[in-house]
A and B are shown apart, each in its own frame.
Chain A
């Protein structure tokens, strides 16, 4: 069973507000992923880190999202100015091996932007 912790489980924001969510990966897992899952179950990869360094991120993440994984602190994903289209389930996953096909997911943060 996954031990990835995500907080909060639910987040409600108004348009234009900041929305911040946190993730504690499994102990010893150096790689962390953030995904956005929409109501149609479609996944969008947002960003991933190895230790504190960004490995890959999509354009959307570069412009309106900010993310970090500081040492000895939870990883975080923040939307600077929320839009209605950002309403989704945000999933954090961690991986302990170079085999990224095996990821351990948290329960997600469900963001609703009113």
Chain B
């Protein structure tokens, strides 16, 4: 069974700050890891994914994430946030060859001006 844990329900930073949103997963097999963003009143927007290769993956709007097998983590980072980055961020895991995607509980990021 795959599980995804996002330990921080809320993160507040100032515009221009760096931010890291944490994601830990539990699964023994080969998986895909993804991050999505959801602005209020909208559906989810895909940010980036990892399957293999370079553990640091680049996504849209300056986001990147780093996979760590030893820590079972896939944390999302941005060097300098903008107020428009305020949203809920979801980490997701899916097993290769499977059909279902399991989402974390989400982290609400608030960027203050």
Contacts and interface: CB of A to CB of B under 8 A. Distances in A.
Interface in A23-78: 31, 33, 40-43, 45, 48, 55-56
B53 interface: no
B45 A48 contact: no
Interface in A89-106: 91, 93, 99-106
Contact of B100 (A40, A45, A104): A45
B46 interface: yes
Interface stretch (B16-24, B61-69, B77-85, B101-109): B101-109
B100 A56 contact: yes
A11 interface: no
B78 to A, nearest CB: 20
B98 A101 contact: no
Nearest to B98: A100
Contact of B94 (A2, A42, A100, A105): A100
Contact of B51 (A6, A31, A101, A107): A101
A113 interface: no
Contacts of A107: 41-43
Interface residues of A, number: 26
Q: How large is the interface on B (under 10, 10 to 19, 20 to 34, 35 or more residues)?
A: 20 to 34
Contacts of A79: none
B99 A101 contact: no
A6 B44 CA distance: 13
Interface string A1-29: 11010100000000000000000000000
Interchain residue pairs A-B with the least CB separation, the first 3:
A101-B32, A105-B43, A43-B103
20 contacts: A31-B99, A33-B101, A40-B105, A41-B88, A41-B90, A42-B105, A43-B90, A45-B100, A48-B99, A48-B100, A91-B43, A93-B44, A99-B49, A100-B32, A100-B94, A101-B92, A102-B46, A103-B44, A105-B45, A107-B41
Given A100-B99, A101-B32, A105-B45, 10 more contacts: A6-B43, A31-B99, A91-B43, A93-B43, A100-B94, A101-B34, A101-B93, A102-B46, A105-B43, A105-B46
